Chain A
Amino acid sequence: MTATIPLTTVDGGVIDRVLATLLDDLWGGLLDVLAGATGVEILASPFMQRAYLAAVCVALVGPLVGSFLVHREMAMIGDTLAHAAFAGVAAGLFVNAVFAVAVPPLATALVVAALAALVVQTLVDYAGAYRDTSLAIVLTGSFAVGSVLITAADGGIAVGINAYLFGSLATVSRANAGILLAMTTLVGLAVGAAYRPLVYVTFDEVGARAAGIDVTRYNRLLAVLTAVVVVGAMQIMGVILVAAMLVIPVAAASPVTGFRRSIAASVAAGLLATVAGVTLSYWYDVAAGGTIVITAIAVYATVSLGSRVRADLTARRNVDATATETLADGGGHGDRAE
């Protein structure tokens, strides 16, 4: 398992010290204070502190990248890359088991998912409208490779793979929390830097090309960022459910007007879902990924219902106002042109 691979193999104390500062002093300290103030004891356990850190990271990057995917009708690319990441995990575990080396499965997952992202993007570029077909081929193909690799190593790694399939708070070791934190920073910076071209390409791909923006480059960037998010979020969400964090919070934020604001709202919805989901998962000792997804869907349903009711009320009020105005002036008209 990844937990046994010390980060110190990468290099010296620097990473360890940074991790100690971020994880223990800053994040741990913050949650300790919170635990002291609220009396909620689980906030003080290092295990749950790491789980909450993972929850926050996933809620930040999932909707951030998902906002671009959903509005390009590419929501399912997340699912495809998650399955590619599964093949990567299987490859990592296979190499570890067969050759007795210590390759972190998350690293192989990242490499395989990023490659799959580029393959998918190339297929989409060449096949044009056949996006679904390209995605389905890569999705099932990589899952097939993963399943073959698992069984090829005599079932010994099948135990480890379950945690990746369904997600588990236990996989969030110190090292993995550090990796997730680094991935979150990377994705945040990349989206921040490329925000404008990504928005333009998402909104109007032809217009962006006419405006001289290198559309292919930003499509690839988005695909690779999706791969990074999927691999990062896979630890607690599980391969099968990870795509939900790219889609559901974005859907929940869809009543919000303004793209920037809708991204912020989707991150908020994501935070609500992951933090509540991790807590419930701990209390009732059930799968974290599933709990988070169910919570996210509940948030989405509540928001959708709320905005529908509000729209109805507004419409009724406008009708009333128009009627009153008409009675008062003996004419006039309500300006409700859309």
Chain B
Amino acid sequence: MTAAVDVREATFSYGDRPVIEDVSLTVETGEFLGLVGPNGSGKTTLLELVIGLRRPDSGTVSLFGEPAADLAAGERVGYVPQDVGEAAGGMPVTVEEVVRMGRYPHRLFRRFRGEDRRAVAAALERVGIADIADRRIGRLSGGQRQRAFIARALAAEADLLALDEPTVGVDAESREAFYDLLHELNDEGMTIVLIEHDIGVVTTHASEIACLNRALFFHGDPEAFVETDALAAAYGNAQHVVAHDH
């Protein structure tokens, strides 16, 4: 069985500024990978390489066994951007219209069928936003908006969820509920790659941790991660894992 994500000796620079250096990393199907690292460490760039938004300068990045940048089956990747509030802007789209977009890679031009409508309804139901389907996405709370983006990925029947600090600006209670949802989806078989600045959250929910600062400093399970000094090495100074007792 091929890994969901297979990064081999990938290097990427913006102009002459290297951002990713010789990173190799695999994410098996059904894994929940937490990607941590200081600001400007190349986390977002690595995520963009993984979902095919960028091509590595050297090395390879495969997604479901195909070069990520050439992957034709775009519906297999669900992307949740950093600030979805920004993405929504003032556009008067409803929650349901956003979730319907998940079906667009399946039916970019042809009419929606019963299965499309069922997938949309099920996705809205699954993340618990069916009751606000007719509301404008721009007028929701941060937590609700993130759920709408997750629902879009579920409607697409994505196999991989890629999230870039999805809970920035989301209140603590909604954050907990959001991570519980991710946890449940992962239990149901969804592969997840999550960038998160809160190391406590990552070590609680993720099944694997990758610690990045241009190069990969650590890749392994959360228990081993808190034991090593990879964090200090990556951040370049003393940094403690904040204990979370919720």
Beta-carbon nearest neighbor of B112 in chain A: A196
Task: Tell me whether B139 is interfacial, beta carbon within 8 Å.
Answer: yes
Inter-subunit contact B141/A337 (CB<8 Å): yes
In the complex, what residues of B have CB within 8 A of residue A210's CB?
A: 51-53, 74, 77, 79, 162
A257-B92, A258-B97, A259-B93 in contact; A212/B162 too (CB < 8 A)? no
Residue in contact with A338 in the complex, picked from B53, B72, B141, CB distance below 8 Å:
B141
Does A206 sit at the interface, judged by CB under 8 A?
yes
Mask for A123-159, Cβ within 8 A of B = 1, else 0?
0000000000000000000000000000000000000
Q: Using known A-B contacts A199-B101, A200-B101, determine if residue A257 contacts B136 with beta carbons closer than 8 Å.
A: yes
Which residues of B have CB within 8 Å of A257? 92, 94, 134-136
Task: List chain A residues, Cβ under 8 A from B89.
Answer: 71, 73
Report B-chain residues with C-beta under 8 Å of the C-beta of A337: 141
Contact yes or no, B87 A212, CB < 8 A = no
User: Which residues of the other chain, B, contact A73 by a CB distance below 8 angstroms?
Assistant: 89
Tell me if A207 and B94 are in contact (CB < 8 A).
Answer: no
User: Considering only CB atoms and an 8 Å cut-off, how many residues of chain B contact the other chain?
Assistant: 37
Please state if A213 and B105 are interface contacts (CB–CB under 8 Å): yes
**A73→B90 CA distance, assembly (Å):** 10
Known: A196-B108, A213-B74, A256-B92. A203 touches B101 (CB 8 A): yes
Q: Which residue of B lies closest to A206 (CB)?
A: B81
> In B18-60, which residues have CB < 8 Å from any A CB?
51-53
Whether A262 touches B92, Cβ cut-off 8 Å, given contacts A193-B109, A211-B75, A337-B141, is yes
Say whether, besides A206-B53, A254-B92, A211 and B141 are in contact (CB < 8 Å): no
Which chain B residues border A203 with CB–CB below 8 Å? 87-88, 91, 93, 98, 101
**Taking the complex as formed, is B206 at the interface, i.e. its CB lies under 8 A from any CB of chain A?**
no
A25 at the interface (CB under 8 A from B): no
- Is A196 a contact of B92 with CB atoms below 8 Å? no
Q: How far apart sit A199 and B134, CA to CA, in the bound complex (Å)?
A: 17
CB of B94 within 8 A of CB of A258, answer yes
B104 at the interface (CB under 8 A from A): yes
Q: How far is the CA of A301 from the CA of B134 in the complex (A)?
A: 26
Name B126-140 residues within 8 Å CB distance of A. 134-136, 139-140
Contact (Cβ within 8 A) A212 B75:
yes
Question: With A71-B89, A257-B135 in contact, do A211 and B77 touch (Cβ < 8 Å)?
Answer: yes
Q: Count chain A residues whose beta carbon lies closer than 8 angstroms to a beta carbon of B.
A: 29
Question: How many Å from the CB of A125 to the closest CB on chain B?
Answer: 15
Contact: B79 with A207, CB < 8 Å? Answer: yes
Chain A residues within an 8 Å CB radius of B230: none
The number of inter-chain residue pairs (CB within 8 angstroms) is 90
A262: B residues at CB distance < 8 A? 92
Question: How distant is the Cα of A253 from the Cα of B88 in the complex, in angstroms?
Answer: 17
Is A204 interfacial (CB 8 A cutoff)? Answer: yes
A197, CB-defined interface residue at 8 Å: yes
Q: Please give me the residue from chain A that is nearest to B105 by CB atom.
A: A211
Q: Please, how many angstroms separate the alpha-carbon atoms of A174 and B87 in the complex?
A: 45
Determine the chain B residues whose CB is within 8 A of the CB of A259 once the complex forms.
91-94, 97
- Give every chain B residue within 8 A of A197 (Cβ-Cβ): 104, 108
Name which of A73, A199, A204, A206 has the most chain B CB atoms within 10 A of its CB.
A204
Per-position binary interface string of chain B over residues 140-155, scored 1 when its CB falls under 8 Å from any chain A CB and 0 otherwise: 1100000001001000
A185-228 interface code vs B (CB 8 A; 1 in, 0 out): 00000000110110110111011011111000000000000000
Q: Please indicate which of the listed interface residues A199, A210, A212 has the most CB atoms of chain B within 10 Å of its own CB.
A: A210
Could you say which residues of chain B place their CB within 8 Å of the CB of A206?
53, 79, 81, 87
Q: Which of A73, A200, A262 has the most CB of B within 10 A?
A: A200
Contact residues in B for A258 (Cβ distance below 8 Å) = 92-94, 97, 134
CA–CA, A259 to B108, complex, Å?
17
Q: Does B156 contact A (CB under 8 A)?
A: yes
A71, A199, A257 interface centre (most CB from chain B within 10 Å):
A257
Asked if residues A71 and B91 are in contact (CB atoms below 8 Å), the reply is yes
What's the least CB distance linking B131 to chain A, in Å?
11
- The distance from the CB of A114 to the nearest CB of chain B, in whole angstroms, is 23
Q: How far is the CA of A196 from the CA of B110 in the complex (A)?
A: 10
Which B residues touch A204, using CB under 8 A? 81, 87, 101
Query: CB distance B91 to A196 under 8 Å?
Result: no
- Give 25 pairs: A residue, B residue, CB < 8 Å, sorted on A: A71-B89, A196-B101, A199-B93, A202-B91, A204-B81, A206-B81, A206-B87, A209-B53, A210-B52, A210-B77, A211-B77, A211-B104, A212-B73, A212-B75, A213-B105, A253-B92, A254-B90, A256-B92, A258-B92, A258-B93, A259-B91, A259-B93, A259-B97, A260-B97, A338-B139
Knowing that A206-B87, A259-B91 touch, tell me 5 more A-B residue pairs with CB under 8 angstroms: A194-B109, A197-B108, A206-B81, A212-B75, A261-B92
**A residues engaging B (CB < 8 A)?**
71, 73, 193-194, 196-197, 199-200, 202-204, 206-207, 209-213, 253-254, 256-262, 337-338
B binding-site residues for A, Cβ under 8 Å = 51-53, 71-75, 77, 79, 81, 87-94, 97-98, 101, 104-105, 107-109, 134-136, 139-141, 149, 152, 156, 162
